[in-house]
Structure 1
């Protein structure tokens, strides 16, 4: 097999994997046009209002990952409809086309065509990793709904670490996520501890509009929260 039109050589196709109950990895789920569209959209979201920011944790430390939120603004560890840790402006809306993409992702991961109608994400965290940025082990537990979490990777590859839903300690399962990969976790592992200990800048990256060494990740969630009435 030769390199494709973007100069990326993939010698051995990576099969889909069920890593644990409710945790499914679909390598290369996003084609190049879809990846480019997401990168372009992420750039546009980052230009709106106060843009991306490195969130401050309750103890005062700042995250190394830059984040833009859609639908609901995530502040460790709560949601708001306004960017309270920035300029207080309304959070950017969650686009319908992105919700449809998330529903398609869950349907494909779980082999459940009904998910195309029943999975309705209303939160997206668009994370940008550069240099030595990483994400410590944590749970996505601010949501009031138990629907699965959808993770879409773009650009530079990374090590995605999966642990236990009960504690931060090992054993851990490390998964290499490359550009275009989809990871879904739900069911008994909806609250699994997970993180990104490091990027893998030596891996080949397709030309989709990311900067050298940059990883973009879109995490889609169902908040279970009700928007305030207008």
Structure 2
């Protein structure tokens, strides 16, 4: 594992080896079956290029009602529990006294991206956000605490973990693009990004 510190982002390159990644995908399959991926829209009604779902007591949703956490999937079913293998990563890297109550799961297919944004729908920004990359490589862009200014980018690979805490907690960040088909972890290609959050 290689550790990279970039604008306060703690990037653990190669944190998960290949067998650990495979185990994590197996643990996520029941979650994705119980709470299927859906394509959200922004508050302005624009459809996002990623599909998403969640695990935990709360899940992050986006629609014309805005960005928020909800206790149920848009289909009305309760979110499944966060798998133990995922929680083990939080326990190891987050240095936090409590467990996350949301694991947001984003799926990036060919052509998917995520514009620069802040994670600010949580009640307490003192808790970190932990991001886990699985599957295809993704170009991760890091901005500033406010919009504008110079940015820096780094490729995230399958098995990388990023801890966003402290000064980096409200820094703008996003995914410019993925290298579709660069990983064989997901049978149909693409990237799964898990973000563990303390929402309440």
* Structure 2 residue 85 is matched with structure 1 residue 100: no
* Residue 43 (structure 1) shift: 2.5
The CA deviation at 1:218 is 0.7
Map of 1:104-143 to 2, 5 A cutoff? Answer: 104-106=92-94, 115=95, 118-143=97-122
Greater radius of gyration (CA) = 1
* 1:127 aligned counterpart, secondary structure: strand
Residue-by-residue CA offset, 1:126-151 (whole Å, 9 max, x unaligned):
11111101111111111112211111
Tell me if structure 2 keeps the 8 A contact 1:102–1:119: no
Written as runs of structure 1 = structure 2, the 5 A alignment for 1:30-109 is: 30-49=16-35, 51-71=36-56, 72-76=58-62, 77-83=67-73, 86-106=74-94
CA contact 1:69–1:125 (8 Å) conserved in 2: yes
Name the structure with the higher strand share.
2
- CA deviations 1:19-76 (Å, max 9, x no partner) are 023x111110001121011112222211115x11011111111111111111212112
> Secondary structure in 2 aligned to 1:164?
coil
RMSD of aligned alpha carbons: 1.8
* Structure 1 residue 119, shift from structure 2 partner: 4.5
Aligned residue pairs, count = 194
CA deviations on 1:67-121 (whole Å, 9 max, x unpaired) are 11112121121111122xx222222223444223212122xxxxxxxx2x62521
SS in 2 for 1:118: coil
Aligned pair partner of 2:5 in 12, 18, 21: 18
Structure 1 spans left out of the alignment, 5+ residues: 1-13, 107-114, 226-230
Instruction: Provide the rounded CA distance (Å) in 2 between the counterparts of 1:212 and 1:47.
Output: 16
In structure 2, do the counterparts of structure 1 residues 170 and 200 end up closer, same or farther at CA, with 3 Å as the change threshold?
farther
CA contact (8 A) 2:27 2:85 kept: no
In structure 2, distance between residues paired with 1:214 and 1:188: 30
Give, in angstroms, the shift of residue 212 of structure 1: 4.5
1:152/1:219 contact within 8 Å kept = yes
Distance 2:30 2:86 in 1: 14
The list of structure 1 runs, each at least 4 consecutive aligned residues, that deviate by more than 3 angstroms after superposition, is: none
- In structure 1, the residue corresponding to 2:31 is in which secondary structure? helix
Using structure 2 for the length normalisation, give the TM-score: 0.89
Matches within 5 A, 1:201-212: 201=180, 203=182, 205=183, 207-208=184-185, 210-212=186-188
